Amino acid sequence: MSRRACLSRRMALAAPLALVACQAAPGAVDGHDVARVERYLNTTRGLTARVVQTWPDGGVGEGTLSYDPGNLRLDYRTPHPMRLVATGGHLVFRDGLRQSVTRMNLSHQPLGLLLAAPVHLGGAVVVTAIRHDANVLQISMARSDNPSQGLLTLGFSDFAGQLSLVAIDLVDARRDNTRLRLTDVRTGADFPPGFFSLSAPL
């Protein structure tokens, strides 16, 4: 399968990241850090960042990530113009070069764990691993009723008690991996109406 075809089919799926290697028994999870991550995802508004994404086939794209609780948008400059918008349990991926549109339901995808509104790391979502080193917090999660549907691992910088999202890693049911690395992370952006609309053209 070509890399471009892979982009359209696997955008929202995948990536264990080396973070999966830091899995710990659920009983070892630090409840305080879990609560901090939950609070961050539910209260951080107007987040923007530069992003470098690595797809399952090794292809790399660069662009801008935008996040509000329950909403995600990725605008790619390379390898060519593309846009991913995820909101309300659904995802739309538009490929400007191929003039294609891919739609996906997130109810069985790991990305859907990030975009629940609100995010609740308990009950239907199980925290499978957590690692807290100097200035770095990593947390992995899956669906409690079917962990094999995929794993989401989030990486945060942690300075002076302040979290900042710097990595998103997913692994899907087929064990395909996708990695996003964030830099120049800022918050407080005022997104215009319709910014996270699934019907917005590229």
For the chain, domain boundaries: 3-182
- Check: CB of residue 84 under 8 Å from CB of residue 51: no
Inter-residue contact 176 to 165 (CB < 8 Å): no
* 1 to 9, 13, 67, 103: CA distances (angstroms): 11, 16, 31, 19
Tens digits of pLDDT across the chain (202 residues): 444 444 443 443 333 333 333 444 444 458 999 999 999 999 999 999 999 999 999 999 999 999 999 999 999 999 999 999 999 999 999 999 999 999 999 999 999 999 999 999 999 999 999 999 989 999 999 999 999 889 999 999 999 999 999 999 999 989 999 999 999 999 999 999 999 999 988 8
Provide the pLDDT for residue 7: 40
Enter the pTM of the model.
0.85
DSSP designation for 3: H
Q: What is the pLDDT of residue 134?
A: 87
Q: d(Cα 67, Cα 56) in Å, to the nearest integer?
A: 23
Is there a contact between 75 and 202 (Cβ–Cβ < 8 Å)?
A: no
Is beta strand 125-133 parallel, antiparallel or unpaired with respect to 100-105? unpaired
Q: Which of 176, 33, 188, 169 is nearest to 111 (CA)?
A: 169
**Is domain 3-182 in CATH 3.40.950.10, yes or no?**
no
Kindly state the tokens that stand for 156: 């945060």
pLDDT of residue 150: 93
